[in-house]
Amino acid sequence: MAGRVDSSMVTTAMELPGHRIVRNFGVVRGIIVRSRSVIGNLGAALQTIVGGNITILTNLCEKTREEAYELLLMHAAQHGANAVVAFRYDATEVMQGVTEVLAYGTAVLVEPNK
């Protein structure tokens, strides 16, 4: 199977409703390491003065998670999976201003319940 696992076949649960797991391929992941730009830091600092949602950082976080998620879907497909269960995100500050975002789960092959 090439490409990526369809997002409708990803769940945070341990099983996919309406399907049974027939093969487990193990843990798959998508990792992105991202730093904030000087301009982004300045814009975020200005937004903190006003208060509320810091949209510059919100958009950066959303884009980073989306990229990590897409890598996870491709990694799962490379293993022959058609679904991912126990999906999670994790983030770690690697150094000041540099954050690793990890999307991970268990790649599985599922069949519809009979």
pLDDT per position as a tens digit, 42-90? 555 555 666 666 677 778 889 999 999 999 999 999 999 999 999 999 9
The residue extents of the domains of the chain are 7-112
Nearest to 28 by CA among 1, 61, 60, 59: 1
pTM over 0.85: no
Distances (CA, A) of 62 to 10, 95, 102: 18, 20, 13
pLDDT per position as a tens digit, 87-109? 999 999 888 878 899 999 999 99
Indicate the fold that domain 7-112 takes in CATH: Translation Initiation Factor IF3 (3.30.110)
